[in-house]
Structure 1
Amino acid sequence: MAHQLVLIGGGYAGMYFLRTTLDLLPSDVEVTLVDRLPKSPLKTEFYSIAAGTSSLKEVTLPFPHHPQLTVVYDEVIGIDQEKKQLTLREKDILPYDTLIVALGCVDRFHKIPGAEEFSLSLQSLKRAQITGHEILTLDAYRSVVLVGAGLTGVELAAELRETRHDLNITLIDRNDLVLNGFSDKLRQYVETWMTSHDIQVQHGIKAQSIFCDHMVHEQGELAFDKLVWTAGIQANPFVQLIVGADFDSIGRVIVDEEQRLPSNPDIYVIGDCAASEHPPTAQLAEFHGEYVGQVLAGKWRGQQVPKRSFTTKGILGSLGRGTGFGTLKGVDMSGKIPRMLKSGVLWSYKKHVEKK
């Protein structure tokens, strides 16, 4: 009987896992990918869907084709680790011998009353499309508030300014400058860009509660027509169903050096739902997927795979279609070149995973 390897989630980590393993599969291993969508989403580009500058085709990729790969379009809602089977929303039970969990992340609302109820989101393709519809169909001169001035909030604000020059856009954050974690030089560059493009940035704002048309914070109230939440993430809540797992502060599963659940070595966790000393990024998810693919290929061949450590290649961000910023190998960049580099990275990723 064939060994059943089940992969839950077809995002960056899942696609790199498949890209690594499919041509290395023994004849007695069958792979099943479970995902709600019929294509792999490019989540880092969802801000462009919400801003109306990218099409659905541009932010999704087809899943690979392989004679030993079956793709099931469904959602996993339960797990029985003793019986080694998953419960699906539509197709009932799916057995596994080896399980790869690559379910990514969801918004983290920090227990702020009304935040989940009244916020728009970018954490799924469906939600990004809804967010785009809600914002892009606003009447002229309405107000949009973006909560969180990290990379996603900054990129959305900049791209939205290109498509809706009439909107009043406000970016709020609890820090003293945008892009916490970047160099002061880049943070000031982006801050100046925002001001010069008529995007209001408010600092030191900590939301206390959110209502349908305004938010309450420590300094007072802020009215809006639409509010988008980009102020933190946490692991997909499904991982809380895994018996014997321990979690970090944002709900990610603590794993061993091979990304396995210490209490159950038949379960691997990769991507944004796996605990790491590094912040969640597409780069880290891709690294996890490729590494676990190599680990399993080594096991099938009876070979030991050397431990690999993750090193970021840098971070690139966009300020609309013509300008960008970022850090590569410790060197700060701003202007047209980092924007071109970011487009090149996206093109390279598409070509890499589409080879299958």
Structure 2
Amino acid sequence: MAHRVVLIGGGYAGMYFLRTTLDALPSDVQITLVDRLPKSPLKTEFYSIAAGTSSLKEVTLPFPAHPQLTVVYDEVIGIDQEKKQLKLRETEDLIYDTLVVALGCVDRFHNIPGAEEHSLSLQSLKRAQITGHEILTLDAYRSVVLIGAGLTGVELAAELRETRHDLNITLIDRNELVLNGFSTKLRQYVENWMTEHEIEVLHGIKTQAIFSDHLEHAEGELPFDKLVWTAGIQANPFVQLIQGAEFDSIGRIVVDEWQRVPSDPAIFAIGDCAASDHPPTAQLAEFHGEYVGEVLLAQWRNQPIGKRTFAPKGMLGSLGRGSGFGTLKGVDMSGKIPRMLKSGVLWSYKKHVETT
């Protein structure tokens, strides 16, 4: 009987796993990919869907075609680890010998009353499309509040300024400068860009409650017409169903050096749902996917498994279509060059996985 691998999730981590394994699979291994969407989403670009600067085609990629790969368009809603069986919402249960969980993350609302109920989101393609519709169809001079001044919040604010120059855009930040984690030089550069493009940034604001038309904080209230949440993530809730697993502070599965769940070595976790010393990024997800692919190929060939360590290459962000910022190999950059580099990285990823 064939060895049955089930991969849950076709994002960055899942696509790199498939790219690594498909052309090297032993003849007795079959892979089943389960995903709700018929295409792989480029989640780091969802802000551009919400801002109306990218089409659906530009932020999705087709899944690979291979005789040993079956794609099931469905959602996993349960797991029986003893029987190695997955329960799906619409189709028949799946049996696995090896399970690779690449389910990514969802919004984390920090128990703020009304946050989940009254916030728009970018954490799925469907939600990003809804967010785009809600914002882009606003009447002129309406107000949009973005909670969270990290990379996603900054990129959305900048891109939205290009498509809706008439809107009043406010970025809410808990810190003294936007983009916590970047250098002070780059953070100030982005702050200045926001000021020049009439995007208001409010610092030191800790949201206490969100209502349908305003939010409350320690200093008072802030009205809005639409509010977008970009202020934190946590692992997809499905991973909590894995018995015997341990989780970190944002619900990610604690894994061993091979990305396996220590209490159940038939299960691997990769991408944003796997605990790591590094923050969740597309780079890390791609590394996990490739690495677990190499680990499994080595196991099937009875070969030693090489240990690999993730080394971040840097981080790039965009400020609309004409400018950007970022750090590569410890060097800060701002202006047109990092924006061009970011476009090049995205193009390279698409070509990388489309050749699978």
Judge same fold: TM > 0.5, yes or no: yes
Q: Tell me how far apart the structure 2 counterparts of residues 110 and 124 of structure 1 sit (CA, whole Å).
A: 19
Q: Tell me how far apart the structure 1 counterparts of residues 156 and 150 of structure 2 sit (CA, whole Å).
A: 10
1:333 is aligned to 333
Q: Look up the equivalent residue of 1:175 and give its one-letter code.
A: N
1:239 is aligned to 239
Q: Tell me how far apart the structure 1 counterparts of residues 167 and 309 of structure 2 sit (CA, whole Å).
A: 45
Tell me, yes or no, if structure 1 residue 74 matches structure 2 residue 74.
Answer: yes
1:147 is aligned to 147
Q: Tell me how far apart the structure 2 counterparts of residues 306 and 126 of structure 1 sit (CA, whole Å).
A: 39
Tell me, yes or no, if structure 1 residue 16 matches structure 2 residue 20.
Answer: no
1:161 is aligned to 161
Tell me, yes or no, if structure 1 residue 275 matches structure 2 residue 275.
Answer: yes
1:222 is aligned to 222
Q: Look up the equivalent residue of 2:2 and give its one-letter code.
A: A
Q: Tell me how far apart the structure 2 counterparts of residues 205 and 8 of structure 1 sit (CA, whole Å).
A: 38
Q: Tell me how far apart the structure 1 counterparts of residues 219 and 205 of structure 2 sit (CA, whole Å).
A: 7
1:56 is aligned to 56
Cα distance, 1:350 vs structure 2: 0.1
Matches within 5 A, 1:85-96: 85-96=85-96
Q: Tell me how far apart the structure 1 counterparts of residues 110 and 126 of structure 2 sit (CA, whole Å).
A: 22
1:116 is aligned to 116
Q: Look up the equivalent residue of 2:110 and give its one-letter code.
A: H
Cα distance, 1:3 vs structure 2: 0.9
Write the deviation string for residues 14-62 of structure 1: whole angstroms up to 9, x where unpaired.
0000000001111111000000000000000000000000000000000
Q: Tell me how far apart the structure 2 counterparts of residues 263 and 5 of structure 1 sit (CA, whole Å).
A: 18
2:248 is aligned to 248
Q: Tell me how far apart the structure 2 counterparts of residues 172 and 209 of structure 1 sit (CA, whole Å).
A: 14
Cα distance, 1:193 vs structure 2: 0.2
- Structure 2-normalised TM-score? 1.00
Q: Look up the equivalent residue of 1:168 and give its one-letter code.
A: N
Write the deviation string for residues 237-276 of structure 1: whole angstroms up to 9, x where unpaired.
0000000000000000000000000000000000000000
Q: Tell me how far apart the structure 2 counterparts of residues 227 and 307 of structure 1 sit (CA, whole Å).
A: 44
Q: Tell me how far apart the structure 2 counterparts of residues 83 and 302 of structure 1 sit (CA, whole Å).
A: 25
Tell me, yes or no, if structure 1 residue 298 matches structure 2 residue 298.
Answer: yes
1:198 is aligned to 198
SS, match of residue 144 in structure 2: strand
SS, match of residue 92 in structure 1: coil
Q: Look up the equivalent residue of 2:26 and give its one-letter code.
A: P
- Structure 1-normalised TM-score? 1.00
Q: Look up the equivalent residue of 2:240 and give its one-letter code.
A: Q
Q: Tell me how far apart the structure 2 counterparts of residues 218 and 105 of structure 1 sit (CA, whole Å).
A: 29
Q: Look up the equivalent residue of 1:299 and give its one-letter code.
A: Q
Q: Tell me how far apart the structure 1 counterparts of residues 155 and 6 of structure 2 sit (CA, whole Å).
A: 35
SS, match of residue 175 in structure 1: coil
Cα distance, 1:300 vs structure 2: 1.0
Q: Tell me how far apart the structure 2 counterparts of residues 173 and 35 of structure 1 sit (CA, whole Å).
A: 34
SS, match of residue 117 in structure 1: helix
Matches within 5 A, 1:163-202: 163-202=163-202
Q: Look up the equivalent residue of 2:10 and give its one-letter code.
A: G
| Aligned residues between the structures | 356
Q: Tell me how far apart the structure 1 counterparts of residues 231 and 24 of structure 2 sit (CA, whole Å).
A: 40
Identity among equivalent pairs (%):
84
Q: Tell me how far apart the structure 1 counterparts of residues 174 and 316 of structure 2 sit (CA, whole Å).
A: 22
Matches within 5 A, 1:39-54: 39-54=39-54
CA RMSD, aligned part only? 0.4
Cα distance, 1:305 vs structure 2: 2.1
Q: Which runs of 4+ in 1 moved over 2 A?
A: none
Q: Tell me how far apart the structure 2 counterparts of residues 219 and 294 of structure 1 sit (CA, whole Å).
A: 53
SS, match of residue 193 in structure 1: helix
Q: Look up the equivalent residue of 1:350 and give its one-letter code.
A: K
Q: Tell me how far apart the structure 1 counterparts of residues 17 and 94 of structure 2 sit (CA, whole Å).
A: 20
Write the deviation string for residues 209-240 of structure 1: whole angstroms up to 9, x where unpaired.
00000000011100000000000000000000
Q: Look up the equivalent residue of 1:317 and give its one-letter code.
A: G
Q: Look up the equivalent residue of 2:302 and give its one-letter code.
A: G
Write the deviation string for residues 261-305 of structure 1: whole angstroms up to 9, x where unpaired.
000000000000000000000000000000000000111111112
Cα distance, 1:92 vs structure 2: 3.1
Tell me, yes or no, if structure 1 residue 289 matches structure 2 residue 289.
Answer: yes
Q: Look up the equivalent residue of 1:327 and give its one-letter code.
A: T
Q: Look up the equivalent residue of 1:352 and give its one-letter code.
A: H
Q: Tell me how far apart the structure 2 counterparts of residues 237 and 307 of structure 1 sit (CA, whole Å).
A: 29
Tell me, yes or no, if structure 1 residue 107 matches structure 2 residue 114.
Answer: no
Tell me, yes or no, if structure 1 residue 264 matches structure 2 residue 294.
Answer: no
Q: Tell me how far apart the structure 1 counterparts of residues 210 and 269 of structure 2 sit (CA, whole Å).
A: 34
